[in-house]
Structure 1
Amino acid sequence: MSHVLTIVAPPGRLSAETILPIRTTLHALGADLGAVDWLSPGEAADLPFSLLNPDQATAAARTALGDAPVDAIAQPAEGRRKRLLIADMDSTIVTSETLDELAAYAGLKEKVAEITRRSMNGELDFAAALRERVAMLKGLSLGALEATWKQTELMPGAKALARTMSANGAHCALASGGFTYFTGRVMAACGFQSHHSNVLVDNGKVLAGRVEEPIFDREAKLATLTRLAAEKGLPMAATMAVGDGANDLAMIGAAGLGIAYHAKPVVAAAARARVDHNDLRALLFVQGYRAAEIVED
């Protein structure tokens, strides 16, 4: 079979009965279907198919699933395991927006979070919005950075994603509009190999209210993807990008497999592949990893 549809649900929520309407729908569209291959019983399965466009298959599967908390992603069967991962950090690899949490120590969380929300949904220019938010933090003690880091939580499946792909020869990189203070620590905690983000300027005691230029933004994320792929001699088909905000759209669109993860509406609408209901382990199942192959926390 030339293509595969990967179906992922929260543990224990996926069954043959869940998959049956998907098979029926794809068959009605003219697909030639193979046998279901369970990657993780009750959680993830592959449905091989041919004679149908993968975008059609994904859309048809979503329609068949209705409101069920199940994700479905179709792609060519060849080259599923990616050799380069580029991941956004905030609200993707960690559960929070670290800048918003940092702003809480200046009593400005709600004001900053509203600007973040609009920026991530593509309503504001990212660089201008970042400069505006960072300027509000001028004079904030550097101790707020450590306090923010201590309360930052990793997204479920983040360690498994980076460690499993790394163990299988992939380079895993963070590409974030956030700050090196946090991306460096997340890299170490999860097992990424590199991190690329913005640098907060300080005087050794307090924040200066600005970041080093140029801003690491949407185009910088795309440039990081293409540069790392070139350095490692990889075609774009061998790359994966994941993120949730408008700042991630360029790299999601350019990667061999770009995934909108619990994404903002503008991103979910534009991305060819989405994970709406599951944790980051879904990105491993989509690559054909079986549960027994996943390097858990």
Structure 2
Amino acid sequence: MSTPQTPPAAAPPGHDVPTLLVKIFGKDRPGITAGLFETLAAFGVDVVDIEQVVTRGRIVLCALVTAPGPTAARGSGDLRVTVHGWAESHGLQAEIISGTGDNRPRGTGRSLVTVLGHPLTADSVAGITSVVTGTGGNIDRIFRLAKYPVTAVEFAVSGAATEALRTALAVEGANRGVDVAVSAAGLQHRARRLVVMDVDSTLIQDEVIELFAAHAGCEAEVADVTSRAMRGELDFEQSLHARVALLAGLDASVVEAVRKEVRLTPGARTLVRTLKRLGYQVGVVSGGFTQVTDALRDELGLDFASANTLEIVDGKLTGRVVGDIVDRAGKARLLRSFAQRAGVPLEQTVAIGDGANDLDMLNTAGLGVAFNAKPMVREAAHTAVNVPFLDTVLYLLGISREEVEAADAHLD
């Protein structure tokens, strides 16, 4: 018995093959796309390309199709008349442009440029797009990811090297007051499946050790050491031991009081909930303390959590930590460990942090995001977010606001 043969795929039209660009625009309503292609189907044309966008209730639908052949019963003239008649009957406008072939070949190199603005001004867009052009890039498509709490827009760019584009746009974004992320286009942009965050001043608004210090009456002293450590002026491990020593003698009941004082960063719960709904695994690593991070893990349903542990003896804090120290190198090591346990390649991981002790982790991940970070961290990370909403990181992953809302609706 013979085996059925799969017919070969149709070759794309050559540069000299006549094509028609059919453009429909007007008030959007259900059925426009179906109606246009049902109209075109009567002429036996092939579809070469389709683009559609709806902005403030107005649709622009473009279809690039092969022109009817010379032996066709109904030619291009009939097609024009028919499409214009169909459009008019639906209160739409039509434009049909003759030409040959497909779109011009795109340059080598594919990048996705995500721009976050609060607000996103025309001046900012002008600056960003001018830099894209200046690096030899061409903007192929533009898509809005979100309109609140920030405006987030994604540009698909070809013809420019990703690293060169990232470097140039980092400077321009800082000058224009917008956040810009640049990543190589492809499946990995959509397939990142592990997100690991710092805790203090990232997942939460507070520095946990300062909350403990407030109960010990040494908040100002601890805050000064913390600030110097986050700026990279002090060795983290030494500063940790020095700060924890000031907590010696505190009653262990202070742990529960501190847990109640912790404030999640705006958007933190939405970020975690959306990621989990979309199949991501989420973890935290912290230079803070397991007495707090374990509670956050349970509250938010995190997959991984690791931090330092305050020693408690006879119901009192001893002023020491026990076990391995989670420092700058430790955070990167834990990211690798979480990725291995999750079965996720490092290039598909995302790390988020704000301090100097997060830098190794940010640079180890496939995408490192500096969140409202110190200047040295913003400069070293792959990208930065400088608005106070943690869920804006979702847009850097190509996750739209509609997907966020869908995840919320599913849980409701």
Q: Give the structure-1-normalised TM-score.
A: 0.93
Higher mean C-alpha displacement, 55-64 vs 130-139: 55-64
The match for 2:142 among 13, 24, 36 is 36
Partners of 1:177 and 1:197 within 8 A in 2: yes
**What's the offset of the Cα at 1:149?**
1.9
Residue type of the partner of 1:125?
D
8 Å Cα contact 2:304/2:338 also seen in 1: no
Q: Which residue of 1 aligns with 2:262?
A: 152
The CA deviation string for residues 175-234 of structure 1, in whole angstroms up to 9 with x for no partner, is 001001111122233332221001111125221111102212122211111112222332
Over 3 Å counting, the alpha-carbon distance change for 1:217 and 1:5 in structure 2 is same
Q: 1:291 to 1:91 in 2, by over 3 A?
A: same
Paired with 1:58 and 1:113, the residues of 2 have a C-alpha distance of 34
Over the matched positions of the two proteins, sequence identity in percent amounts to 34
Which among 12, 15, 20 is matched to residue 126 of structure 2?
A: 20
How many residue pairs align between the two structures?
A: 295
- C-alpha change, 1:172 and 1:227, in structure 2 (3 Å) is same
In structure 1, the residue matched to 2:181 is 73
**Segment drifting more, 238-247 vs 180-189:** 180-189
- 2:155 maps to 47
**Pairing 1:164-179 to 2, within 5 Å after superposition:** 164-179=274-289
Task: Name the structure 1 match of 2:315.
Answer: 205
In structure 2, the CA distance between the partners of 1:117 and 1:66, relative to structure 1 (3 Å rule), is: closer
Q: Is it true that 1:223 corresponds to 2:333 in the alignment? A: yes
Q: Which residue of 2 aligns with 1:115?
A: 225
Stretch moving more, 150-159 or 227-236: 227-236
Unpaired runs of 5+ in structure 1? none
> Following the alignment from structure 2 to structure 1, what is the Cα–Cα distance between the partners of residues 368 and 334?
14
Say which SS state the counterpart of residue 169 (structure 1) adopts: coil
Greater alpha carbon shift after TM alignment, 266-275 vs 92-101: 266-275
Matches of 1:18 and 1:151, distance apart in 2: 39
Superposition CA RMSD, Å: 1.9
Q: 2:272 aligns with which of 162, 175, 196?
A: 162
Question: Which ranges in structure 2 are unaligned for 5 or more consecutive residues?
Answer: 1-108
Indicate conservation of the 8 Å contact 1:159/1:191, yes or no.
no
Q: Deviations over 1:100-136 (max 9, x none)?
A: 1210111100101111111111111111111111111
Larger relative strand fraction: 2
Q: Which amino acid aligns with 1:198?
A: N
- Give CA deviations for 1:48-100 in whole Å, capped at 9, x if unaligned: 10222334323433444465442110101221131111110000000010101
1:238 Cα deviation after fit: 0.5
Q: Which secondary structure state, in structure 2, belongs to the residue aligned with residue 161 of structure 1?
A: helix
* Residues 111 and 66 (structure 1), Cα distance of their counterparts in 2 relative to 1, 3 Å cut: closer
Equivalent residues of 1:163, 1:192 under 8 A apart: no
Structure 1 distance, partners of 2:138, 2:282, is 35
Quote the Cα distance in structure 1 between the aligned partners of 2:312 and 2:383: 39
| Larger RCO (CA within 8 A; separation ≥ 6) | 1
TM-score, scaled relative to structure 2: 0.68
Compute the displacement of 1:169 (Å): 1.6
**Preserved contact between residue 158 and residue 190 of structure 1 (Cα < 8 Å):** no
Question: What amino acid does structure 1 have at the position aligned with 2:189?
Answer: R
Query: AA paired with 1:241?
Result: A
Structure 1 Cα separation of the partners of residues 218 and 142 of structure 2: 51
